[in-house]
Amino acid sequence: MPKFKLDENLPQEAADLLQDAGYDAATIWDQQMVGAPDSKVASVCKDEDRVLMTLDLDFADIRLYRPADHAGIIVLRLPQQDKQNVLAIINRLIPMLAQESASGRLWIVDSKKIRIHS
């Protein structure tokens, strides 16, 4: 079962949703890494073997963050980033996590679909 690290741009309740579904989910806030550069966040996630979940579109750049080099990256590409919408999308995403591996892959999640890149 994958472990997750939620970026500082996601609400704490997102981690709670993942934990309620049985996943190990930590946040950037938990580790006092708020404001850390993206490269540091990616490195910590890699070292901890955690899938990064974020709203930061920079992590979708496979030239900078090759999916194969990471435990997984899930980028939420949402036009509405209010708490209610973000939590609704994560709720929709949770069943997919049990069916599809995130390891070494980049998931781009929008309000209508999920694209998975290796």
User: In terms of C-beta distances under 8 Å and separation of at least 24 residues, what long-range contacts does 76-79 make, across chains too?
Assistant: 76/10, 76/109, 76/110, 77/108, 77/109, 77/110, 78/109, 78/110, 78/111, 79/111
CATH number at residue 51: 3.40.50
- The residue segments making up the domain with residue 99 are 3-111
Query: Over the stretch 84-111, which tens digit does the pLDDT of each residue have?
Result: 999 999 999 999 999 999 999 999 999 8
Q: What pTM value is reported for the model?
A: 0.94
Number of domains composing the chain: 1
pLDDT band at residue 1 under the 50/70/90 scheme: confident
Q: Does residue 118 belong to any structural domain of this protein?
A: no
Q: Does residue 24 belong to any structural domain of this protein?
A: yes
Q: Does residue 116 belong to any structural domain of this protein?
A: no
Q: Does residue 71 belong to any structural domain of this protein?
A: yes
pLDDT at position 24 is: 97
Residue 53 CA to residue 76 CA, distance in Å, equals 7
